[in-house]
Structure 1
């Protein structure tokens, strides 16, 4: 049928060429994925906050260590969790690209469940020692190194590309809201009955493993040529190194958080500076996640689309400035507010970085590049804890936090100069070279 032209002088009404993408939660597989992520993170965050407090309290009470000596033990805790990450990350990325990704995530969750049961038992019988806590923390690091790349690589396979930015924001809501509830619940449950927090974590990990099993199988992408596993592991590192955009994005987080990470010293601030005990520590650990959850919720409904690189750089700088202010604070509520601000800034950076990495990585490389990114994130957290604990042993916890936050601001400025690709990133449009392997 012929189209009737509009009257002269009247502009034709064109249909919307870019209809709004559906919500990620409209996909059943994504709903299962979201809930599995939420329950697993809630469990692990509850465990992490209690392990740190138990280690610091054990060092102070049972071993008679000073504040600085016990702070150094917290630094060692970060180191023992980093070692398995550094060794196994290439293996974990290769596994995520060669095996069914759901099963990898379920296996890692079950390792964490066993750790929770062991910690609960030794807490119940009052048999915790520093060597035992270090050993179980290292096993926890092994579980995390495998679950990270597998879960990160699942999301792009269960939603369309147009939905992925919102899916990443929604996934961040799962992570951050669980990071609010988990530490707060862990601190309160531990104060009421120490061993019960690990029962709570074990149940949540079992629920997470069951829920992720409900997602349809996420098979690894086919490859035309099978190569030696060691060569394929190296490919992920080489791809990240060649793509300066990815390299700058990943290393910005690595060095900024190594310098500005203050979470390792929160047990020190809770017990001996702010004097709030394990209950206060739970709220301190939850505060950054609260700020992050609010930002993630906003980004899920209205994700940013323009000048994404500059905004990421500013967010990291704000995170560093908030760290400096937190180090000087001696008021519990002011410290909570600063941690909320730091979490909000970090979430903004995480959203931009996560979306850029996923959309700038071809699917057959996502597991390995996610592993490299996960190593950088974990290295920044664990090595940041070691840096903070070591510096606190020499100059006290306040000096360690303040100097670290200032260093993060310097790194942000330096990376804006070294990697102009970050400043020039206007949108999330893929920038990797066609045919990269």
Structure 2
């Protein structure tokens, strides 16, 4: 399979993934798509909060962006059949179509919060699967010795998007309004779709897809069931999926969907202040992602993930007690750093433990765990009205910390039985 043959990565160090043609196209495609995601989420989140003056409506909007987690395993099955490149290109074209619709509504003065919720629902059917399919596509085309570096660099697409996308989105919204801002967002989605289509040349993509052992023809539901059974019967995979469920329920709502509320009602700031808070998380995550690209790291990824996750929850607990924008932003930088170490390790462990024939559906099952994020948002919205933001955030961080330790103890043998290092030796990798 010529697509997967690459020279030793030593001479390129942390940039070795860019020797792969597919990665040279996929990375910028993922980057611009992530930029558009962050700009869209920030702009529409602020719009919903200002127009409705309701934290519950804000959490409903945030939850709708993840409604597709319920069908993520089916999207994973379909992507295994048609190819990850084809699936991602189609999804990103759909984002552009929805953004174009919202642009038209904004310019005609017919945009309303209810319409935003409907459009968020349609976008949310696909967005949760985007990250998982990115990882599956990288794993298909990347030599094993550079997979961790590739995932670390790939993670920077989300991190930089949250820095620059958040600041750009806030600045555009404040300066020129929602309509002109959405022209830029639509254009960015179109560029992302074009780059994704060109990430793997069609003949090479077909060769990789056909190289997989087809086996007997199964129905999509049977393939989905096989993927779920494989995860359930593989303790290492099961532990990782439980961690995905926990992180998305306990900590991501606090540094993601609820950030507009924290900016407006806790730190008493505007769109620009919200941009600074979101960018602070991303700055720390970006530094952490770069750290995970270090060639030659020999620390076991399970250890990195669990220790970083414990620190992450503690930092979120401290953030919940801050009172000034500057202190909050400083704590969010540290939260982002711990988050990145946790999630890069988490993803590489999952991909390394997945057979290529089942990678799409396994990533789909992992995406299904993200359904805990909208659940966490909705529960948090109700709790904030009852006990306040700080108490709610503190409870989430403490519960998340307790279950992080519990999962580590429950599956300690499985997490440590396969020694997955931060960077495997790259020499001699081929085929």
1:392 aligns with 2:384: yes
Residue 51 of structure 1: aligned partner: 44
- Residues 303/365 of structure 1: CA separation in 2 closer, same or farther (3 Å cut): farther
Residue 10 of structure 2: aligned partner: 20
Query: Do the aligned partners of 1:47 and 1:186 also contact (CA within 8 Å) in 2?
Result: yes
In the TM superposition, residue 48 of structure 1 has moved relative to its aligned partner by 0.7
2:268 to 267, 272, 275: 275
Residue 237 of structure 2: aligned partner: 246
Residue 3 of structure 1: aligned partner: none
Residue 183 of structure 1: aligned partner: 166
The number of equivalent residue pairs is 402
1:198 aligns with 2:182: yes
1:105 aligns with 2:101: no
2:150 to 167, 174, 182: 167
In the TM superposition, residue 272 of structure 1 has moved relative to its aligned partner by 2.0
In the TM superposition, residue 271 of structure 1 has moved relative to its aligned partner by 1.4
Residue 219 of structure 2: aligned partner: 228
How does the TM-score come out when normalised to structure 2? 0.88
- Residues 121/399 of structure 1: CA separation in 2 closer, same or farther (3 Å cut): farther
3-state SS of 1:306 partner: coil
Structure 2: distance between partners of 1:294 and 1:211: 26
Residue 9 of structure 1: aligned partner: none
Larger radius of gyration: 1
Query: Do the aligned partners of 1:89 and 1:375 also contact (CA within 8 Å) in 2?
Result: yes
3-state SS of 1:328 partner: coil
Query: Do the aligned partners of 1:288 and 1:342 also contact (CA within 8 Å) in 2?
Result: yes
Residue 67 of structure 1: aligned partner: none
How does the TM-score come out when normalised to structure 1? 0.87
Residue 12 of structure 1: aligned partner: none
Query: Do the aligned partners of 1:274 and 1:331 also contact (CA within 8 Å) in 2?
Result: yes
Equivalent positions of 1:68-87 (< 5 A) are: 70-86=54-70
1:208 to 177, 187, 192: 192
1:371 aligns with 2:364: yes
Deviations 1:381-431 (A, max 9, x none): 32222222222122122221111111111111111221113652573179x
Structure 2: distance between partners of 1:92 and 1:341: 34
In the TM superposition, residue 270 of structure 1 has moved relative to its aligned partner by 1.3
Structure 2: distance between partners of 1:405 and 1:422: 25
Equivalent positions of 1:266-345 (< 5 A) are: 266-302=259-295, 304-345=297-338
Structure 2: distance between partners of 1:407 and 1:197: 39
1:362 aligns with 2:355: yes
Structure 1: distance between partners of 2:218 and 2:421: 30
- Residues 21/91 of structure 1: CA separation in 2 closer, same or farther (3 Å cut): farther
Residue 64 of structure 1: aligned partner: none
In the TM superposition, residue 21 of structure 1 has moved relative to its aligned partner by 7.4
Query: Do the aligned partners of 1:324 and 1:405 also contact (CA within 8 Å) in 2?
Result: yes
Deviations 1:84-138 (A, max 9, x none): 321x212101111000221211111111112212222333344332321211111
CA RMSD of aligned residues (A): 2.0
List gaps (5 residues or longer) in structure 1.
1-17, 61-69, 431-437
1:94 aligns with 2:83: no
In the TM superposition, residue 371 of structure 1 has moved relative to its aligned partner by 0.9
